[in-house]
Amino acid sequence: MMAALVLSLTSAGLAAVQAASGSDPVTIAELGLTATPFVVAPTLTALPGEFKRIAAVAGTSVAANVTHMSAYDTSVDVWNATGLGLWLADGTLFAVYSAPSTILNKAGPAFALVVFDIVWMGDDAASIAFGDPIFTNPPATTTTRGLVELATGAETFNAIDNQRAVTPEGLGLALLDMIKARDGIGSGLDADRFQGQDIGYFLAAAAYTAASVLSHLVTVDGSGSGLDADLLDGQQGSWYADIVARLGYTPLNQTAYTAADVLAKLLTVDGSGSGIDADLLDGHNGASYRRVVSSNITDNGGHIEYSDGFKETWGWVDVPANASATFNVPVDHTSWLIPTISVQVAVGDDNNSENCGIGTVTVGSPTTVQLYSAENFTVRFFIHTKGV
């Protein structure tokens, strides 16, 4: 997304807005393009160096002082623009913008979609209309359908952002975090279950008496089902005093059972295949480490997928002269994807990357990246993606 462009109204454009009303608005009919940097002035009546006008212009009011505008060029023209102007239906130059370098460009095989929001000093959005309302893509509000960013779990939990939409998953996680943050002694929460069990599962403290314990114990006691504290398995206590005879071996003296001795013995069997499953590795829980859950290490169409859902892919695509091609991402992404490319430079042509680029990025199934080239020879794109 490019940086915000500050458009300047011409004197004629300002007069047209001031004279307009909701029932008789001014109509923006065309978008003019120029590759000639110029000094912005309210007295301009023509766009300096204008080389093209786009008639497919649409827009809508998304707030009292905000107008969302879109322009669509479906021609095969190739152009670079450093400035632009908005033309009214009666031929009045309405507003202009100029920059010292390129702000918009288009390759031959590609369609150009120019989208931006205009913020007015006053509540003038209702006084603006568009000549070709065939498409708009405004930001969503409580009254306008449009694009909206999904809130993260943290944004949902903080409950202070009024610009992003909450997902069912995000809402559920946020509510769970809110409950956890307030749970504990004095919270006032009255749950139906504790540790997954109904209250009938637990024994009342008043029922835990010596008589109750004894009545249960004798049902599982030894011969005769009579508890005899003087005997153990029918033997007097003195019978067990001869430990060596009872065990059949001399037991280890407890003073020899030290941490150092255990460690020394453990090291003799530790290592790969030992079966030891520790809670920590170098002082960190296993959740602190990113594990590879899937991979295909190859030069074209390779990928690595990690346990947290993050994915990396790579490969290459040959794009014919003045054409486009699609790179099918080796593993599907469901949330977002950021591609980077490098272009194989032809002998004698070290600027061909200026005429090549990324078109449309599509997540889902399949996940794809459209590439285009305005060169007159086949170009090889090497592509690397990261995403979820």
Give dist(CA 18, CA 162) in Å, integer.
32
pTM here is: 0.38
**pLDDT truncated to tens, each residue of the chain (388 aa)?**
445 577 899 999 999 988 887 678 889 999 999 999 999 999 999 999 999 999 878 888 777 777 788 888 989 999 999 999 999 999 999 999 999 999 999 998 888 888 877 776 566 667 777 765 555 555 556 655 555 678 887 888 788 877 678 888 777 777 777 777 777 777 666 666 777 888 778 778 888 888 888 888 878 877 776 666 777 778 888 888 888 888 888 888 888 888 988 888 888 888 888 888 788 888 888 777 889 999 999 999 999 999 999 999 999 999 999 999 999 999 999 999 999 999 886 666 655 567 899 999 999 999 999 999 999 999 999 999 999 9
Q: Answer yes or no: are the C-beta atoms of 189 and 207 closer than 8 Å.
A: no
CB atoms within 10 A of CB 72: 18
| Type and span of the H or E element at 71 | strand 66-73
Torsion region of 71: left, alpha or beta (phi above 0 gives left; psi -120 to 50 gives alpha): beta
Where in the chain do CATH 2.60.40 domains reside?
A: 292-387
**Kind of pairing, strands 128-130 and 26-34?**
parallel
CATH topology of domain 292-387: Immunoglobulin-like (2.60.40)
Within a 13 Å sphere around the CA of 120, how many CA atoms are in the beta-carbon half? 20
Block residue for tokens 């931006």: 116
